[in-house]
Homo-oligomer: A and B are copies of this chain.
Amino acid sequence: MKSYRKELWFNIPQRRQLINITGEVEAALRESGIQEGLCLVNAMHISASVFINDDESGLHADFERWLEKLAPEKPHDQYAHNGYEDNADAHLKRTIMGREVTVAVTEGRLDFGPWEQIFYGEFDGKRKKRALIKIIGA
């Protein structure tokens, strides 16, 4: 069994943003040399997400509005977590969007349907944060 590990680093200037990382994950898979297996991609921070959806700007605007409706950022003092912090909403937003994805690896490629793209979802940015890629297989 082979395994491969790589970190992706982000330093996003605003609080929230969705970043397409499909190309970076594909590059890691090529570097791994793994042909058949599983590829885990996860946020290493609990106020960020890795998820799979469509790379369409209208949909991304819908995600922003929808997450603000389900888990609004403000007022900050509506959350017990926000004593020394102001990011409780980011923990909730990431919960809806998910921490991680596991993707099948087949014949050396991410085994995706026609529109699947991997995103890093930042919900509490303005600082350095990481996602992890771990691939196991043969």
Which positions in A face B, CB cutoff 8 Å?
A: 1, 3, 5, 36-38, 40, 42-46, 51-54, 56-59, 61-63, 66, 70-71, 79-83, 88, 91-92, 95-104, 106, 111-116, 130, 132, 134, 136-138
So how many copies of this chain end up in the complex? 3
Task: Determine if A136 and B38 form an interchain contact, defined as CB atoms under 8 angstroms apart.
Answer: yes
Task: Determine if A37 and B136 form an interchain contact, defined as CB atoms under 8 angstroms apart.
Answer: yes
Known pairs A40-B38, A53-B91, A100-B101; A5 contacts B111 (CB<8 A): yes
Find the B residue at minimum CB distance from A55: B46
Picked from B54, B71, B81, the residue with its CB within 8 Å of the CB of A91 is B54
A132 neighbours in B (Cβ, 8 Å) = 104, 111, 113
Complex: A95 Cα to B1 Cα, angstroms = 32
